[in-house]
Chains A and B, each alone.
Chain A
């Protein structure tokens, strides 16, 4: 490949304008997941983030030193303000979901989410981390350019045409890269451990009482099945990390990934983790296919309502 070809490929990948429907759909899923995360944290909010919580701010700062983007260290140290912080976070997550003041709310959601995690890193899982990272790049994305109240207002004010305008997808590509990297690095870290190579890793995982969620069939616990499961997880993570970029394999791998995460969600109790990851799958769907799917859903509905009329 020539340097000119490389530059053309780079520009095509990051800057060739396309419909913003994938990133807008992601914004809706993302906002919904941040909202759900906050609702699940609500009953123990002050226990985790309060002045006299399980981990105090000075302890958190001592354990994780250095300058950090953490609004908890700026707001007054009293529980009323920390409660207010919850409602601001929740409000901005809901507004982001519906796409009102999208850019401002994507920034607010990122700031709140990062602060929540920086304040107490000891209760976060990989799904939270992914939300934080995706939130960073979402700030720069045209996430309100479709399926948003912002757009409806702009159309109503005649500032935007009725059809969705194409946009540069570079921020969307960064979230896609982040997702692919997540799988690939996870694969690399796993193959460093003997239990994964020997195929015994899932034996340990599925005998952790604390992670059990729904009942599993007894055949699943057969050593051979667990061995095959361990190796399959490695293969799936590798393929999802590397081959999702290849158009011909993409939808097959995404379907495989959906099954993989749904199985994990059924069998392991790590609330929202799998959905946090799955939310970004929509970014790999071609805008034309999203439009086609929407028409496929809309057409029978329109037909049915016409028949009723």
Chain B
């Protein structure tokens, strides 16, 4: 019986196996196609919503909705290269380092204009970092930077007591005839950081 039943099932199948497999594949393809379309529509709308500098309440709502996903996935983006207003001053950051014995030394963040071509390639990140260090909304970076300098400058016999970070700047101002003459350098203190012994570990 079993054999007969088996042979019957083989000779008269309910649906031909090739056809049912085909149907399964096409159903899978349709599902894949639909999912890809949802993915495309969502991402096109979301990226456009995130990027477009349009002050519309609808865009703002959209931006807030997608923010967690964009921040998590790394799809956040901004394309404000030299925009809307390019940086208007030459700047650099200097650190005054005061040691426990009262001596002082100076350390300057790598300044691209003073480096050779190859060095510039490797050290350019310092330019970007220095630009971000002076941003008001990134104040929290300053203590970390001061601690890093303290660790770098501390020796076994002479530990750093204080790090003072100073921003130096010279405004870029066009002369009346439109040409450029360098302005004198000005400065302001970004942070004076008292180094703790645990900072040096």
Instruction: Give residues in A with beta carbon < 8 Å to B.
Output: 14-15, 40-41, 43-44, 47-48, 52-56, 59, 62-64, 66-69, 110, 114, 117-118, 122-126, 129, 132-133, 136, 170, 174, 177-178, 181-182, 185-186, 188-196, 200-201, 203-205, 207-213, 221, 223-224, 269-271
7 cross-chain pairs, A with B, having the tightest CB-CB distances, nearest first: A193-B84, A223-B178, A114-B74, A189-B83, A209-B113, A192-B84, A122-B132
How many cross-chain pairs have Cβ atoms below 8 Å apart between A and B? Answer: 174
Q: At the interface with chain A, which of B19-27, B99-107, B143-151?
A: B143-151
The reply to whether B53 and A208 form a contact with Cβ atoms under 8 Å apart is: no
B73 within 8 A of partner (CB) = yes
Interface size of B by Cβ–Cβ distance < 8 Å? 63
Structural contact, A205 and B86, CB atoms closer than 8 A: yes
A-B contact pairs, 11 of them (CB 8 A): A52-B151, A110-B74, A123-B128, A126-B81, A170-B36, A185-B52, A186-B83, A196-B83, A209-B111, A210-B92, A212-B112
| Interface SS, B side | helix
B113 near A210: Cβ-Cβ < 8 Å: yes
* Nearest chain A residue, comparing its CB with the CB of B179: A223
Residues of A within 8 A of B148 (CB): 47, 52-54
0/1 string, B21-40, CB within 8 A of A gives 1: 00000000000010010001
Minimum distance in angstroms from A224 CB to a CB of chain B: 8
In residues 18-74 of chain B, which contact A (Cβ within 8 Å)? 33, 36, 40, 43-44, 47-48, 51-53, 67-68, 71-74
* B120 located at the interface, meaning its Cβ lies under 8 Å from any Cβ of chain A in the complex: yes
Which chain B residue lies CB-closest to A204? Answer: B86
User: Shortest distance in angstroms between A237's beta carbon and chain B's nearest beta carbon?
Assistant: 10
**Given A14-B36, A204-B87, A204-B88, 16 more contacts at CB 8 Å?**
A48-B125, A54-B144, A64-B71, A66-B72, A68-B72, A69-B74, A124-B128, A188-B53, A192-B84, A200-B174, A203-B180, A210-B90, A210-B111, A213-B117, A221-B180, A271-B120
In angstroms, Cα B52 to Cα A185, docked, is 6
Residues of B within 8 A of A203 (CB): 172, 174, 178, 180
Q: Does B127 sit within 8 A of A, measured CB to CB?
A: yes
Known: A190-B84, A193-B85. A41 touches B125 (CB 8 A): yes
What CA separation (Å) do A117 and B125 show in the bound complex? 12
- Asked if B125 contacts A207 (CB within 8 A), the reply is no
Chain A: CB-nearest residue to B199:
A52
Closest to A214 in B: B117
Distance to closest chain B CB from A230 (angstroms): 9
Do B74 and A123 touch across chains, with their CB atoms under 8 A apart?
A: no
B1 within 8 A of partner (CB): no
* Residue among A186, A193, A207 making CB contact with B79, cutoff 8 Å: A186
Q: Which residue of A lies closest to B127 (CB)?
A: A210
Tell me the complex Cα distance, A114–B75, Å: 9
Residues of A contacting B90 in the complex (Cβ-Cβ under 8 angstroms): 207-210
A126 contacts which of B52, B79, B132 (Cβ < 8 Å)?
Answer: B79
B145 — which chain A residues lie within 8 A by C-beta?
A: 54-55
